[in-house]
Structure 1
Amino acid sequence: MSRHVLVTGAASGIGLSVAQHAAAAGDDVTLVDHRPEALDAAADTVRAVAGSGAADGGRVSVLVADLRDPEAPGSVVSTAWDTAPVDVLVNAAGVYPATPFLELDAATWDGVQDVNVRAPLLATVTLGRLATAAGRTPSVVNITSGAALRARPGAAPYSTSKAALEMVTRASALELGAAGIRVNAVAPGFVVVDSTVNPVSDEYAAAVSPNPLGRPGAPADIAKAVLWLADPEQSGWVTGTVLRVDGGSSTGAHTLPLSTTTSTPGTDSTRQGVPA
């Protein structure tokens, strides 16, 4: 039986890949984004694969919404639900402007938190209300980031927002668990996406992309993890967790050289100290 999967930030990148994989599996998909033309183009690519994995389902709908509007997250969930009850909510929309710390102001800070934290929270609240009233048990998957664990220059709002979203994930799972609603998160490492909303420089990509597995991530890597977490047959006893899909980049400082050498202690090639 097909599910109804609602994906925010679905016009490009990870959100689009999630929508494509869900549609290919035969799910009905509603794509949400604030860019009408990009959203329509994305919907066409999703329709091209829709229903290939099942005999029924594969219907594709779009909703244009600016998630900075505090009314928008609940509205898109309610509107999608009126079409068919939402079985999976994927909060993939996110922004990550690079702003030096001393140039931060309230508007910049709030703009990131509104999209990256408040929107998924309010969307989950609305889905929780509708689902509990209807006696249904949907699943929610939030997209966080390795930045939730590690600050970096220019990313104070973004890193803070993703750390907050991981706590939102746990808090939501705690409070909705009694109703059978599962809430989890996927934290991607560096993923190569074609995005005009959140472009990154080649220098930045080169600095953050190394990981033990030796390749950057692809949106499909994240989409598959999202849909595994969303599937009650595969992960029915998993809630409140953050699945790090990052090629191992969160394992530690894997690019550092060995902290010791084979030189004789006391020579110029050694230093006294405790490895960090």
Structure 2
Amino acid sequence: MDFKDDFVGKKVIVTGGCGIIGGWIAQAFAAAGAEICLTDHRSDALAETVETYEGRAFGIAADLMNAADMDRFAAEIEQRWGAPDILVNNAGIYPSGFLLDIGIDDFDAIMGVNLRAPFYLSKLFARQMVEKGVKGSIVNISSGAARKMRRTVVPYCTSKTALDRLTKGFAIELAEYGIRVNIVEPGFAAGSDVSALTNEHVNTVTSSIPLGRASSRDDVSNAVLFLSSSAASYVTGATLAVDGGNSIGSLAVFQDKKTAL
């Protein structure tokens, strides 16, 4: 079954559309024939990104820390589309710091973008779906950090654990309307302009992933498209980890003998 045929003419929102993973997801939907709305707080970057879609996407700049901005964003979508078919809550931030050092403003920002925004946008756009009778799909982009604690990014891990519970809550409450809500946990990607990572960190993480490589465009986008498609019509409240085994353990060996054979 080629589930990508499902998306011709569908209306898809991708938050954090200027980032690496957001771009992968949005480009895959556009290639499958969907109409795309990208949002990002960086209006200049958003305008440049939209141009690369050659008429298949438009952008709405919004600060996902600001409820009024999210209200305006939803109102523009309602005016243009009535309701989306698919919402991908992809925007996220990943500032690092030990708990004894990180400031309260940074903590609030992490929770605001990674948890509060998916809550509020899911609420706003699900209400539109219900009103228009759209049996839509919401996919939240999470991380294996929801299950695997990491030093210096505890607030990020906490936000993703909470997003897991929020996703399941929405899945239960929206099921009666035919709206499915799921999670994709992408594999490791080498940072972005918003959350830059050093080459040393990238190499260290990649070398410890069981399947031996970082995430690719197809790894992430195929998972999101699958969960948004008719092929997953009986799937809601689920978490699909597409991370090369990174969240289940590490390849690091703590003994002198480093291989099995």
Could you state the TM-score of these two structures normalised by the residue count of structure 2?
0.89
Q: Which residue of 2 aligns with 1:273?
A: none
What is the deviation of 1:63?
0.3
- Map of 1:1-276 to 2, 5 A cutoff? 1-47=8-54, 59-84=56-81, 85-193=83-191, 195-209=192-206, 210-231=208-229, 233-256=230-253
Return the alpha-carbon distance in structure 1 between the equivalents of residues 97 and 75 of structure 2.
Answer: 34
Q: Is the 8 A contact 1:74 1:122 kept in 2?
A: no
| Structure 1 moving runs of 4+ over 3 Å | 257-261
> What SS is found at the alignment partner of 2:38?
strand
Q: Is the 8 A contact 1:20 1:45 kept in 2?
A: no
Q: Is the 8 A contact 1:19 1:46 kept in 2?
A: no
> What SS is found at the alignment partner of 1:157?
helix
What is the deviation of 1:83?
1.0
What is the deviation of 1:192?
2.9
What is the deviation of 1:257?
5.3
Which letter maps to 1:223?
S
**Structure 2 CA distance for partners of 1:160 and 1:218, relative to 1, 3 Å:** same
Return the alpha-carbon distance in structure 2 between the equivalents of residues 171 and 72 of structure 1.
Answer: 24
> What SS is found at the alignment partner of 2:221?
helix
> What SS is found at the alignment partner of 2:18?
coil
Q: Deviations over 1:19-62 (max 9, x none)?
A: 11111111000000011121112112222xx6xxxxxxxx3110
Q: Number of residue pairs matched?
A: 249
Which letter maps to 2:118?
P
**Structure 2 CA distance for partners of 1:174 and 1:74, relative to 1, 3 Å:** farther
Q: Deviations over 1:59-85 (max 9, x none)?
A: 311000110112333432332232112
Q: Is the 8 A contact 2:114 2:160 kept in 1?
A: yes
**Structure 2 CA distance for partners of 1:220 and 1:35, relative to 1, 3 Å:** farther
Which letter maps to 1:156?
V
Q: Is the 8 A contact 2:210 2:249 kept in 1?
A: no
Return the alpha-carbon distance in structure 1 between the equivalents of residues 111 and 78 of structure 2.
Answer: 25
- How much is the aligned-residue C-alpha RMSD, in angstroms? 1.9
Please, which runs of 5 or more residues in structure 2 have no aligned partner?
1-7
Q: Is the 8 A contact 2:210 2:250 kept in 1?
A: no
Which letter maps to 1:133?
E
Return the alpha-carbon distance in structure 1 between the equivalents of residues 257 and 57 of structure 2.
Answer: 57
Return the alpha-carbon distance in structure 1 between the equivalents of residues 213 and 196 of structure 2.
Answer: 19
Return the alpha-carbon distance in structure 1 between the equivalents of residues 196 and 257 of structure 2.
Answer: 39
Return the alpha-carbon distance in structure 2 between the equivalents of residues 251 and 149 of structure 1.
Answer: 9
**Structure 2 CA distance for partners of 1:259 and 1:123, relative to 1, 3 Å:** farther
For CA contacts below 8 A with separation 6 or more, give which structure has more relative contact order: 2
What is the deviation of 1:163?
0.7
Please, which runs of 5 or more residues in structure 1 have no aligned partner?
51-58, 262-276
